[in-house]
Structure 1
Amino acid sequence: MNEHRLDASQQSFRFIFVELLVIALPLMVSAGTFSLVLFVDRTLLLWYNGASMSASMAGGNFFWVSICLPIGIASMTGAIISQYVGADEEDKIGRFLWQSVWLTLLSTPFFAWIAYNADDLFRLTEQPSELIQAETTYLRWLMLGGVGAVLENALSGFFSGTQRTRVIMWVSLLSGLLNVVLDLLLIFGAGPIPEMGIAGAAIASSMAFWFKAICFGLLIFYYDRDNRYQVRSGIGFSGALLTKLLFFGFPTGLMYVTEAGGFTAIVLRIGRLGDIPLRATTMAINFNMVAFIPLVGVSIAASVLVGRHLIESGPGRAAKSVLAALLVGWGYSLLWCIAYLIFPGVMMQLYEINTPTADSALAISIAKGLLKFVAFYVVMDATQLILAGALRGAGDTWFVLGTGLMSSVVAFAIGVGNEPSQGQLHWWWWMITLWVWLLAVCMTARFVHGKWKTMRMV
């Protein structure tokens, strides 16, 4: 009898694991495509001009800080839609989805203001004068795609919330391919297309953002052709639904701001050390992204499954989905941890394909050592990301915000207050490591405490 129960339990968890993978793998491919595109962007810019790679790091981070509040709000669309699915209220999805679209469009004036004042903003952060023009150019062109980037995040929530994640995967693959092709054409020029350098990389990214948004919009209307979700009839404004989106999404957006702002502040401190330390940091972060960003897909899957099963099956079933997500995240990140420790030289050879300058060669040498820091925190990064997604799926977004804010402030305050006169680069990488560990410990404690089990968003 006990053996039969054990077999049933194992079979149950096997089903849970398969359910997670069905949702998570397409999202991992989708997020992985995004990380690969960023990797290619920065690598091509290194081959074009080493300073352009450094500028793309600072400019790209500033872009993310500028758009992450509305993106964070929009990212809750999928979790809330999943609870509508779990509550068998799919007819409410269309009207709710439109609120995220209206909110996205309202961000346009702010993005225009950032683009207009980009030069002054970089000067305020005391960036090296030789990088400011390139950073400004990169940020301004990216801001043209800002609304598209937020909109595609909002619309993709329809597909993650209704568990059609393969749609997100295929659109992301096509968008990534478009971005890479445009990068090659616009950065280096070809035929009648002039060489545009860092501006070309930003234009390519902006066009890819809008491509995804348009694809998702058209596909949503296709999947609602029978009016199951009432997308066409739900086009109007709803104060109640917008308030719901803001209540659960605003703390998520603010957490993105605090995390992105904290990281950008650290990168800007590194940027003050000069082009070479910033270039080395960009190289190391490039490989960090290859490990980190695909795990965003696992985090979204955990969020969607927690949201659905809390309503449909109860907290016990939701907790098992989170455990499955953690096992996937730990296994994936552990492989990268080993690679960072054993093969840093092999990884950095990619930057040496196009004979590097003396400055780039020095940056490559420094970056090999920085990968050891990434190895030290990569598993903890997977832990905090997945558990934060699970907590958001339940609606515990205000705690996630508080934890992100506290961790960012503590790490940056310690960094600034004790910054050594020499060896500042490694010091700030220790602060990045401390920040990630703080997040992981706090998210784990909150999840184990279990308050999330009683929360609901619909």
Structure 2
Amino acid sequence: MTSFTVMQFVDKLMVGQVGPLEVAAQGNGGVWSFVPIAVGMGIVTVVNTFVSQNFGAGRPEAGPKYAWAMIWLSLLMWVLVLLPMAAIMPLIFEAITSDRVAEPARLIAMETVYARILLIGGAVTLIGRGMHHYFFGLHRPKIIAVSAIVGNTVNVGVNYILIFGAAGLHLPWFGGIDLPGIPGTPALGLTGAALGTVAGTVFEVLIPLAVFLGPKMNAELRTRAQWRPSLRPMRDLWRLGWPAAMQYGNELLCWTLFMTVLVGHFGELHMTAGWIAMTFMHLSLMPAVGFSVAVTSLVGKYIGAGRPDVAVARARLGLAMAVGYMTVCAVLFVVFRHDLAAVFVGGDVTPDAAAEIIRITGVLLICAAVFQTIDAFGIVYSGALRGAGDTVWPGVMTMILSWTFIVGGGGAFVVFWPELESLGPWIGVSVYIIVYGIVMCRRFETGRWRSIRLLDDAATSATIGPGPPAAEADASIRDLAGEIAAEVAAEIEATNPGG
């Protein structure tokens, strides 16, 4: 998911040089297309839990059946949900577009094209995320790091060629930089950005899939022999994954309504500024989500091995690293807020509009800085709970909290305190993230997840202690660092959960 977020960042950075309306269209189209994709991700990414727990229990050969089940479920989701969603995109954008937007017809057309391309390529996105989580569950993160770097490289290259075409790009930075275009290539703008995202995602999938089906892994784990659809592993993924699917999809729907309806209510400039702030917020989340994925894998591994005490220590270590990183991001958001905003303001925009976008973005980045540290608690502990198989309670709480604070609280600010403009809904979001972090922290630390058994022989009875002894703590740092390095490399390859 985070890799997808990096691609979105690259999209927005390049599209920002075309114009502010394109930035708003990219954000709206991307987030609406990602709502159904996020639902699918909630199901396919729990492959990590099953693979890691079987790996910890000494049965890695049981993992490939879950990878194939993930692939079949992804294709089913694509046919039944993503393609129909692509067909109705124009109706959604026509219904939510504010009358304060200067060029509504142009905005809707760009949003629709961008969203449709990402949805048509959504099967590749789902399979890619699932394959990443399979290899993380198997504790082979280097494969994912390589695929992420290759995918991002392709994304950037195709983006540049198709967005700007033969004209190339003029950057106003450092006194002006002129980058050449590719002769004979049309400038497709936002359409080119969407095609770049799909192209990058295809390459990101091909590498782990080739390794999975390769002769070495097939000889070791019989990965090719289990390709036929099997109801039991598909049912297992659904049983554990549907709460996460509802959690991801519901939360993203709330964020989508927040950005496109509540923030969009105040017009094009607020919508553009909101997406710029959201883009930097996503970048601050990337390593934290990487920590969360690594923690999911490690918690699952040690629960499968009958060592929940070590699983707790890994989760706390991941939390400490995420808190440190996101706190630094909070400081940068405040100190460099106007400089960060200016990076995305280019193209055909008047000086007054540019100044207003930068001002609004600066205010929103201060708001985002307030909740950065506590956000790490929610991100990492939700991953730890997923590794333990605890998905229903967090999913239900996410639904309750997101509708209460993001939509309900944000909507209240729009209705009763409109003078705050788009800052009002952002305050509602801030309250949501703070409460969510506290709730997920309490859920994990109280140990309710210890009664959950996914494998018949998994032991989950140890009590929470201060952590493993020093030698094992050193090993835990090496384990987590390896997982995180690969996941963060994968991030540098996107959420929001195109480009």
Secondary structure, in 3 states, of the residue corresponding to 2:214?
helix
Out of 263, 267, 271, the position equivalent to 1:274 is 267
Secondary structure, in 3 states, of the residue corresponding to 2:222?
coil
Distance 1:69 1:34, change over 3 A: closer
- The structural deviation recorded for 1:354 is 6.2
- Say whether residues 1:121 and 2:97 are aligned partners: no
- Say whether residues 1:239 and 2:210 are aligned partners: no
Please tell me whether the aligned partners of residues 95 and 230 of structure 1 are also in contact (alpha carbons under 8 angstroms). no
Moved more, 389-398 or 423-432: 423-432
- The structural deviation recorded for 1:293 is 2.0
Query: Structure 1 regions of 5+ residues with no counterpart?
Result: 1-29
- The structural deviation recorded for 1:368 is 1.0
Higher RCO (Cα < 8 Å, 6 or more apart): 2
Aligned amino acid, residue 238 of structure 1:
S
Please tell me whether the aligned partners of residues 363 and 423 of structure 2 are also in contact (alpha carbons under 8 angstroms). no
Aligned amino acid, residue 425 of structure 1:
S
**Partner of residue 26, structure 1:** none
**Partner of residue 453, structure 2:** 456
- Say whether residues 1:346 and 2:339 are aligned partners: yes
Please tell me whether the aligned partners of residues 92 and 230 of structure 1 are also in contact (alpha carbons under 8 angstroms). no
TM-score between the two structures when normalised by the length of structure 2: 0.83
Please tell me whether the aligned partners of residues 249 and 397 of structure 1 are also in contact (alpha carbons under 8 angstroms). yes
Distance 1:35 1:102, change over 3 A: closer
Cα separation, 2, equivalents of 1:244 and 1:325: 27
Please tell me whether the aligned partners of residues 35 and 294 of structure 1 are also in contact (alpha carbons under 8 angstroms). no
- Say whether residues 1:289 and 2:282 are aligned partners: yes
Out of 364, 369, 388, the position equivalent to 2:382 is 388
TM alignment of 1:390-409, pairs within 5 A:
390-409=384-403
TM alignment of 1:260-271, pairs within 5 A:
260-268=252-260, 269-271=262-264
**Partner of residue 71, structure 1:** 41
Secondary structure, in 3 states, of the residue corresponding to 2:16?
helix
Cα separation, 2, equivalents of 1:98 and 1:424: 48
Cα separation, 2, equivalents of 1:238 and 1:330: 41
- The structural deviation recorded for 1:435 is 1.2
TM-superposition CA deviations, 1:309-337 (whole Å, max 9, x none): 11214221111001100111011111111
- The structural deviation recorded for 1:257 is 0.7
- Hey, which bits of structure 1, 4+ residues long, moved more than 4 A? 352-356
Cα separation, 1, equivalents of 2:112 and 2:218: 47
- The structural deviation recorded for 1:154 is 1.1
> Please, what is the CA RMSD of the aligned residues?
1.7
**Partner of residue 331, structure 1:** 324
**Partner of residue 442, structure 2:** 445
**Partner of residue 44, structure 1:** 14
- The structural deviation recorded for 1:150 is 0.4
Out of 146, 171, 178, the position equivalent to 2:122 is 146
- The structural deviation recorded for 1:442 is 0.9
Secondary structure, in 3 states, of the residue corresponding to 2:186?
coil
Cα separation, 2, equivalents of 1:36 and 1:103: 25
Cα separation, 1, equivalents of 2:240 and 2:298: 17
Cα separation, 1, equivalents of 2:124 and 2:4: 15
Cα separation, 2, equivalents of 1:441 and 1:57: 29
**Partner of residue 409, structure 2:** 414
Cα separation, 1, equivalents of 2:311 and 2:294: 11
Cα separation, 2, equivalents of 1:43 and 1:233: 44
Cα separation, 1, equivalents of 2:214 and 2:123: 23
**Partner of residue 371, structure 2:** 377
Aligned amino acid, residue 39 of structure 1:
F
Cα separation, 1, equivalents of 2:128 and 2:212: 12
Cα separation, 2, equivalents of 1:417 and 1:40: 33
Aligned amino acid, residue 55 of structure 2:
V
**Partner of residue 184, structure 2:** 192
Please tell me whether the aligned partners of residues 410 and 426 of structure 2 are also in contact (alpha carbons under 8 angstroms). no
Cα separation, 2, equivalents of 1:323 and 1:144: 39
Distance 1:259 1:444, change over 3 A: same
Out of 421, 425, 439, the position equivalent to 1:424 is 421
- The structural deviation recorded for 1:290 is 1.1
Aligned amino acid, residue 126 of structure 1:
T
Please tell me whether the aligned partners of residues 164 and 188 of structure 2 are also in contact (alpha carbons under 8 angstroms). yes
**Partner of residue 10, structure 1:** none
Aligned amino acid, residue 63 of structure 2:
I
Please tell me whether the aligned partners of residues 111 and 143 of structure 1 are also in contact (alpha carbons under 8 angstroms). yes
Distance 1:274 1:355, change over 3 A: closer
- The structural deviation recorded for 1:347 is 2.0
**Partner of residue 210, structure 1:** 202
TM-superposition CA deviations, 1:387-421 (whole Å, max 9, x none): 00000000000011011101111111122245323
Please tell me whether the aligned partners of residues 254 and 403 of structure 2 are also in contact (alpha carbons under 8 angstroms). yes
Secondary structure, in 3 states, of the residue corresponding to 1:422?
helix
Aligned amino acid, residue 123 of structure 1:
E
Moved more, 286-295 or 392-401: 286-295
Out of 230, 242, 251, the position equivalent to 1:250 is 242
- Say whether residues 1:97 and 2:67 are aligned partners: yes
TM alignment of 1:170-189, pairs within 5 A:
170-189=146-165
Cα separation, 2, equivalents of 1:361 and 1:211: 39
Secondary structure, in 3 states, of the residue corresponding to 2:292?
helix
TM-superposition CA deviations, 1:99-152 (whole Å, max 9, x none): 111000102222111112111111122344241111111111111211110010
Query: Structure 2 regions of 5+ residues with no counterpart?
Result: 167-182, 456-499
Aligned amino acid, residue 366 of structure 2:
K
- The structural deviation recorded for 1:34 is 4.5
- The structural deviation recorded for 1:224 is 4.6
Cα separation, 1, equivalents of 2:12 and 2:343: 12
- The structural deviation recorded for 1:341 is 1.8
TM-superposition CA deviations, 1:20-71 (whole Å, max 9, x none): xxxxxxxxxx94x654432221121111121010111111110110211111
Secondary structure, in 3 states, of the residue corresponding to 2:227?
coil
Please tell me whether the aligned partners of residues 271 and 277 of structure 1 are also in contact (alpha carbons under 8 angstroms). yes
Distance 1:343 1:176, change over 3 A: same
TM alignment of 1:12-27, pairs within 5 A:
none
- The structural deviation recorded for 1:226 is 4.8
Percent of paired sites with the same residue: 24
TM-superposition CA deviations, 1:341-390 (whole Å, max 9, x none): 22213323423576853323311121011111111011111110000000
Secondary structure, in 3 states, of the residue corresponding to 1:122?
helix
TM-superposition CA deviations, 1:265-311 (whole Å, max 9, x none): 10122112211000010111111111112211100111111111112
Secondary structure, in 3 states, of the residue corresponding to 2:327?
helix
Distance 1:124 1:283, change over 3 A: same
Please tell me whether the aligned partners of residues 338 and 361 of structure 2 are also in contact (alpha carbons under 8 angstroms). no
- The structural deviation recorded for 1:454 is 2.6
